[in-house]
A = this chain, B = another copy of it.
Amino acid sequence: MSLKHAILVLLEQEPGSGYDLVQRFNQGIGQFWNASHQQVYQQLKKLHDNKLVDFQTQRQSDKPDKKIYRISANGKTELRDWMSESNNPPVVRDALLIRIFAGHLTDKQTLLDELARHRQLHQNMLEARQAEEARYLNSSKNQQMKMRLPYLTLRRGIRYEREWIAWLDETMMFIESHSLPQSPA
């Protein structure tokens, strides 16, 4: 049940509308938590029912009105309490690895194509995160101080993508240079 807390963290950082939160989920923090707008709006409603956030409607002439949510005193208490709880690492469920595991059921090229596709995706993610890192490293000492902890999570993202790419390269090389054990069709 951490979407709740992810939202509270974002609102603690800076108030915003559901729409704003979705944008933020698609940026930096999206690398380790993500949510669709449908989920966000419903969760905000629940958080409001539980008095963990409140909002004020902001009228806009050119764009649709929006509700600016902010974390309440109760919300802050809830968040602080949650910070002392613990969660185990999430369970990984990755279809790519099932496919490699059972690679004898298909042909080399199919595997290699899918591996290359994933490599490209991870390469894109890596570059996006490295760009973020560059922005951080070029920001003022003051800004860096403030963003020190988020930066650590960004480091995690960079390491994660790099590790994927390394494994994908190793694996593609291996598959290219070996024949697959072939199962009868």
Interface residues in chain A, defined as those with a beta carbon under 8 Å from any beta carbon in chain B: 2, 5-6, 9, 12-13, 29, 31-34, 79-80, 83-84, 86-106, 110, 114, 117-118, 121-122, 145-146, 148-150, 152-153, 155-156, 159-160, 163-164, 166-167, 170-171, 174-175, 178, 180-181
Which one, B29, B90, B103, contacts A149 given CB within 8 A? B103
Specify the main secondary structure of chain A where it touches its partner: helix
Which one, B83, B91, B110, contacts A34 given CB within 8 A? B91
Decide if A117 touches B86 in the complex (CB within 8 Å). yes
Give the copy number. Answer: 2
Decide if A104 touches B171 in the complex (CB within 8 Å). no
Task: Looking at the assembled complex, report how far the CB atom of A26 sits from the nearest CB atom of chain B, in whole angstroms.
Answer: 11
Decide if A80 touches B106 in the complex (CB within 8 Å). yes
